[in-house]
Amino acid sequence: MRGWLKTLLRPEAITFWQLLVLALPALLVGFVLRAALMIAVPEGYFGSDSNSYYEFAHQLFDHGVVELNEKRRWLYPIFLAWADAFPGPGWYLVPLWQHTTGLLTLLGIGWCSAQLVDRPRVVVPLVTVLAAIWPRMLWYEHEFIAEPLMLAAFVAVIALLLTPGIARSRHGLMVLMLAFVLLAGMKGAGRFLWMGSVVGLFVLHHDPRRWLWGK
């Protein structure tokens, strides 16, 4: 028993597969909650901002006009139009995809936690379970609103920034830059998170001349 506790509390870097095991309770709880919500309310919720986000899809498919709303000139309206192009009503597909993205976001939150603490075997299950049952996160995933995808992009950026050696990998830098684009472009508020994340990139990984840009 004492040896098990020493193993649990030992400072240790974890692998991605160990992260999956540690986040498994959160993934199961999160899946059950999201499945229950989808069964109870299969259609996504139209909030006060949803119509302006959906205006691009409405103009595109009903009038053949490709024009982004001046207030919503970002990637989320394009995502909604892309969802409408799939067979089946978008008001069922969008919350389904956003809930799936929410579950993946839990893994990113767990990875961030694991890189910041000395006891990931204790902290990661606790933090990810709390995120999985966070009511606002759950509801935003069910609403036609950009917040869940912007959160996913932000968590992805932070998780990549905290990954050791990310700036010394060509593929790692490419994925990181893609995450930056998604964060800055999902909605207007993402620009401010993007600016802070860029500062964090230089703080964490220092001189860009040492990054692996070439072949």
- Chain mean pLDDT for the chain: 82
Q: 88 in the Ramachandran plot: left (φ > 0), alpha (ψ -120 to 50) or beta?
A: left
Please say if the pLDDT value at position 174 is more than 90. Answer: no
Identify the band that residue 1 occupies on the pLDDT scale cut at 50, 70 and 90: very low
Both tokens of residue 4?
């098990």
Count Cα neighbours of 45 within 13 Å in the Cβ-side half-sphere.
Answer: 15
Q: Smallest Cα–Cα separation from 91: which of 136, 51, 45?
A: 45
- Interatomic CA distance for residues 114 and 109, integer angstroms: 9
What pLDDT was estimated at residue 8?
40
What integer pLDDT is reported at residue 149 of this predicted model? 92
Task: Please name the residue that has the structure tokens 């230089």.
Answer: 202
Largest CA distance in the chain: 69
pLDDT at 205: 75
Percentage of the residues of the chain whose pLDDT score is greater than 70: 81
Contact 170, 208 (CB under 8 A): no
- Counting other chains too, the contacts that 166-173 makes at CB distance below 8 Å and 24 or more residues apart are 166/205, 167/201, 167/205, 167/208, 167/210, 167/211, 167/212, 168/210, 168/211, 168/212, 169/212, 170/212, 170/213, 170/214, 170/215, 173/211, 173/212, 173/213
Cα 55 from chain centroid (whole Å): 24
Question: 30 pLDDT exceeds 50?
Answer: yes
Nearest alpha carbon to residue 19 among 102, 114, 156:
114
Q: Would you say residue 88 has pLDDT above 70?
A: no
In the predicted structure, residue 78 carries a pLDDT above the cut 90:
no
Higher pLDDT, 41 or 168: 41
What band does 157 get if pLDDT is binned at 50, 70 and 90?
A: very high
Read off the pLDDT of residues 91-139 as tens digits, 9 standing for 90 and up.
Answer: 788 899 999 999 999 999 999 999 888 889 999 999 999 999 999 999 9
Quick one: pLDDT at residue 150? 92
Residue partners of 198: CB distance under 8 A and separation at least 6: 180
